[in-house]
Structure 1
Amino acid sequence: MPSSKLKTAKAVQDSAALHFRLHYNCCKNCRCQNFGLVESADYLAESFQLGYPALHCKACGSYPPLVDSESVNRIIDERAKQYLSKAPCGCGNCEPGFFLGPSVGVKRYGKTGANSQRYQCRQCESVFTQVSIKGEEQLATLFNSLSLGHSPQKIMQQLSIAPKIYYQLLQRLFHCLRFYTRQQEQKSLNGSFIAIHTESQIHAFSEQKKIWTLCSTEVNSGYVLLHSHNQTQLELNDNAYYQQKASTLLPSLTESPIVEALKRRYQLTLNRYHFEDLHYGPTVNLRGTKLLQPSVCAYAHFQLLSGFTQHSENFHHYIEHESSIRGAALMCCVDEIKQQRAEIFYLYRHPRTQSDMGTTGNKVGWWNDRWFPADFGAFCGITSVQQVPAPISLPQPEACQNYFTHLQENMSKQLKSASSVDALFEINRALFNYVIPDQQGVSPAMRLGASQKLMTGSELVNAAVAAVNQDHVLKFNT
């Protein structure tokens, strides 16, 4: 194909909107002819052969648990607005989020009685006014206080503001930082290959409130791309909600030899109702929220991650050894797996010794998964077609855990509402990526190429506010 046509094809690809998967009940055995197919003559649509509702694929004999696709799709829509929205810029109805598609555009539409510029969406023709963000110093003071883990009450006293103003400022800071960081990521994630590392953790608040979270980092930099949780304000089908049963979390078992630890983890997974039936014990909901089954949260999380990988020729997902997220990871890249453009690997971080695992791999578990040694512990190819896959490069193996530790040590436990949690998680994601250096004095954003230097809190906030205001100028003067 001539170079001009290649460029045109690439431009079309880059401008195409991202479409999430809609149906998740299918065979999830990537070596089966029915892998990822929603309809097949080999399927028994609802089987209770193993004691739980499942789809039965007669071609390979697997029994993937049934997934509430409707609830997953609604959570995807909710999370796309929370994590990838371009607010406060553009039309709130039509503007796709970062990584989700091209801008729909706006045009000038007169002025308000107060002489503020109005705009009209080119797609839905709704009219709106966008106010420029002001008060950078106050927002910077808020950010710096939050970075020190100060409680809301202490920050209100420092700023001499009422609770209503505090929460308004919190949301404003949240939107500015999200806009700026996503803008920088979109500029930086343009290589032909990307690898993403994902781990889960329980985040605890005061008064016995606990939520299950997923963190995904870019492998080479340790930059946190997406951090999501299992609380929602949506009304969903009852089977999508967390049941608060006794914990079935897998222990780390790092004190045991690695092969023995892996065998024990597989056995504990078999003790679950089914592989995706993860529980972390009783908890108390935050005000105005309900908790999702971790697997429902995981399906939405990995669908959003497909926005970060969609323009890479090849990509890898490295996921912790936890079967409740395995199906979600597979479903975010079915076509790419079939085209051998994407691979998924289990990782198990463990302080292994040189002699406790053979270099040719050890078969472990009910499917005889073959695990191979690595500097960080071990890995297992879920989708790899190679008998002995190439060694995995994981320059920042502790990145997810470092972020979880940062949240537990620096984020106030005195939280009561879901909107505050969403804002503070995103604010801390920006803090972790752009302001906090590693032992070499480098931030994850610098390693990713999203920042040229280690930023102070005030510099980050000023850059975020400027990005939002500058986007108004660039968008509306064209």
Structure 2
Amino acid sequence: MFDIRKDFNCCKTVSCKNFGVENSEDYVYQSKRLGYLSIECKACGSNPPWINNQLIENILKEKLDFHFARKITHCRHCYSHFFFNEKNRSQLHGFTVAGTQRLKCKNCQHVYSETKHKNVEAITQVLQTIIDKLDINSAIRKTGLSARLYYFYLEKLSLLLTNFSRLKEQEEINRDSLSLQTEGKVVHLNHKRGFYTLLTAEADSGYILLQTTNLTKVELLEQDIYNSTENTVIKDAFANNIESEIKNHYQQTLHRKHFEKLLIGELKAINHCNLIYPNKLVYVHFSLLRGFIKKAQHYSHYIELESSIRAAALMSAHPEIKAGKADIFYYLPFLNNQEIIKNRKVGWWSDRWHSFDKGAYSLLTDNKQNQYPFKMTDTEQLNRYYDYLDTHLNKSLNSFNTITNLSEIHRVLFNFCYAQDDKSTAMQFGVANHIYDEMSLLSEAMTYKEYTGE
């Protein structure tokens, strides 16, 4: 398994000698000096909020298995997760009595069979109900399937599209340089239900690589279950200039109980699962992103102006930041910006901000020989996907499995089937050479395989 950070209780100040260092003699563990549980770094005076590492590990296992382990190709014995394990090689090894191709793994010598998809018609019918935006009860009636079978084939559809997507991404992701863009969004459903989701796209194309929600089936302690009507999500302000907008964001952060305590308004829980606080989910999401960046010689990450996202981004990228291989930027969109800001200190942490035509940015890392300046030209890419998700995801959903499967299906459909300037994000990312319609995408996903032999 590719290495993922286990301990997030350390100094998160990039300029401090203890940045990312575990078990420093300068630390005061579980300090309450500022009125909340934190780890105090005496070297720089910072007090980042205390993180329950075991909770993060438990949630991470759940999300890792859903997003990267649902494989229908390759040997599952020694290649259990996309991106996080090295690909195995196989050789043809005869056929089963039913005529299915068998393969033999060259790494562990395990013999396995290619997957055959049964009842293609049912999977196709389920996809059509998604295209038609039917609610679940109407969808079940239209297909003629029982509720149990409808959900069964919905999961099969999600598995097929995810597997196809990950195979394509794995072929393309090995780049010398990589740029990512991450934001958090709240998806509202009927009857005040909903969830918080973190979205990450490849920044140059807008291709959605990963979305993780704060829905979980992991057993939580009462203090970890999101249950709040207070709203400290950064509100859409109408500041008359970009500097005022930046200051508004910092000021709202400072009004929280502690600066990472992001609250997202009143959200009622989904059946048979819990909502975890967003400031805990961020560590899971950025840990998963390591699968995409691990082979890049350098990567840039553009994140929204949010303290909890900043902390998680810095912790995930710590090895690359220390090696001068990663740059993390705050960015703040501001349409039709006419103001010029250059190296302006703003906020409690004295971040240095610069303006550009679509807003402003601040370099959070300390790479003094930076050869990769801020160059994000489209700040609306994640908003386009969020608008798509808001339009296409059924608002009557009230089930963990259905929401997670449908969210992943829509991620793939958006990437491969919807165009911006006559190109899909999959085309712009390099994993497709044409715009798919939904049925042709399913057809190719059912037959696509990556032979790994010589």
Q: Distance in 1 between matches of 2:23 and 2:249?
A: 33
Question: How much does 1:353 deviate?
Answer: 3.1
Please state whether the residue corresponding to 2:156 is helix, strand or coil: helix
Q: Distance in 2 between matches of 1:414 and 1:68?
A: 33
Q: 2:54 aligns with which of 64, 70, 91?
A: 70
Q: Distance in 2 between matches of 1:388 and 1:264?
A: 29
Q: 1:49 to 1:352 in 2, by over 3 A?
A: farther
Q: Distance in 1 between matches of 2:320 and 2:355?
A: 26
* Cα pair 1:373 1:379 within 8 Å, conserved: yes
Question: How much does 1:111 deviate?
Answer: 9.3
The count of aligned residue pairs is: 454
Q: Distance in 2 between matches of 1:43 and 1:337?
A: 21
The aligned amino acid for 2:290 is S
Q: Where does the alignment leave 5 or more consecutive residues of structure 1 unmatched?
A: 1-16
Q: Distance in 2 between matches of 1:220 and 1:351?
A: 19
- In structure 2, the partner of 1:11 is none
Q: Distance in 2 between matches of 1:445 and 1:262?
A: 33
Q: 1:190 to 1:121 in 2, by over 3 A?
A: closer
Question: How much does 1:27 deviate?
Answer: 0.2
* Cα pair 2:337 2:358 within 8 Å, conserved: no
The aligned amino acid for 1:435 is C
Question: How much does 1:184 deviate?
Answer: 0.4
1:428 is aligned to 2:410: yes
* Cα pair 2:224 2:276 within 8 Å, conserved: yes
- In structure 2, the partner of 1:100 is 84
Q: Distance in 1 between matches of 2:384 and 2:310?
A: 22
- In structure 2, the partner of 1:13 is none
RMSD of aligned residue pairs (Cα, Å): 2.7
Question: How much does 1:244 deviate?
Answer: 2.0
Please state whether the residue corresponding to 1:242 is helix, strand or coil: coil
* Cα pair 1:362 1:372 within 8 Å, conserved: yes
* Cα pair 2:300 2:372 within 8 Å, conserved: no
* Cα pair 1:374 1:392 within 8 Å, conserved: no
Q: Where does the alignment leave 5 or more consecutive residues of structure 2 unmatched?
A: none
1:192 is aligned to 2:173: no
Question: How much does 1:362 deviate?
Answer: 2.2
The aligned amino acid for 1:364 is V
- In structure 1, the partner of 2:386 is 404
Q: Distance in 1 between matches of 2:66 and 2:295?
A: 22
Question: How much does 1:314 deviate?
Answer: 0.4
Q: Distance in 1 between matches of 2:267 and 2:234?
A: 18
* Cα pair 2:229 2:267 within 8 Å, conserved: no
Q: 1:417 aligns with which of 393, 399, 403?
A: 399
Please state whether the residue corresponding to 2:190 is helix, strand or coil: coil
Q: 1:389 to 1:361 in 2, by over 3 A?
A: farther
Q: Distance in 1 between matches of 2:91 and 2:152?
A: 28
Q: Distance in 2 between matches of 1:106 and 1:364?
A: 55
Question: How much does 1:141 deviate?
Answer: 3.8
Q: 1:377 to 1:387 in 2, by over 3 A?
A: farther
Question: How much does 1:148 deviate?
Answer: 3.5
Question: How much does 1:102 deviate?
Answer: 1.8
Q: 1:253 to 1:361 in 2, by over 3 A?
A: farther
* Cα pair 1:22 1:73 within 8 Å, conserved: yes
Q: Which has the higher contact order (CA 8 A, sep 6+)?
A: 1
Alignment of 1:281-320 (within 5 A): 281-320=265-304
Q: 1:362 to 1:68 in 2, by over 3 A?
A: same
Q: 2:431 aligns with which of 436, 450, 455?
A: 450
* Cα pair 2:180 2:200 within 8 Å, conserved: yes
Q: 1:380 aligns with which of 339, 356, 362?
A: 362
Question: How much does 1:207 deviate?
Answer: 1.9
- In structure 2, the partner of 1:251 is 235
Question: How much does 1:144 deviate?
Answer: 3.7
- In structure 1, the partner of 2:35 is 51
* Cα pair 1:381 1:389 within 8 Å, conserved: no
- In structure 1, the partner of 2:244 is 260
Question: How much does 1:333 deviate?
Answer: 1.2
Tell me the TM-score normalized by structure 2: 0.92
Alignment of 1:214-363 (within 5 A): 214-354=198-338, 356-358=339-341, 360-363=342-345
Question: How much does 1:254 deviate?
Answer: 4.0
The C-alpha deviation readout for 1:269-304, integer Å capped at 9, x for no partner, is 001011111111232111110111101111010011
Please state whether the residue corresponding to 1:207 is helix, strand or coil: helix
* Cα pair 1:85 1:179 within 8 Å, conserved: no
Tell me the TM-score normalized by structure 1: 0.88
Q: Distance in 1 between matches of 2:361 and 2:332?
A: 6
* Cα pair 1:54 1:64 within 8 Å, conserved: yes
- In structure 1, the partner of 2:347 is 365
Q: Distance in 1 between matches of 2:447 and 2:113?
A: 18
* Cα pair 1:248 1:280 within 8 Å, conserved: yes
Q: Distance in 2 between matches of 1:387 and 1:463?
A: 45
Please state whether the residue corresponding to 1:324 is helix, strand or coil: helix
Alignment of 1:20-39 (within 5 A): 20-39=4-23
The aligned amino acid for 1:28 is K
The C-alpha deviation readout for 1:31-79, integer Å capped at 9, x for no partner, is 1000000111111112111000101101111001111111111111111
1:61 is aligned to 2:42: no
- In structure 1, the partner of 2:444 is 463
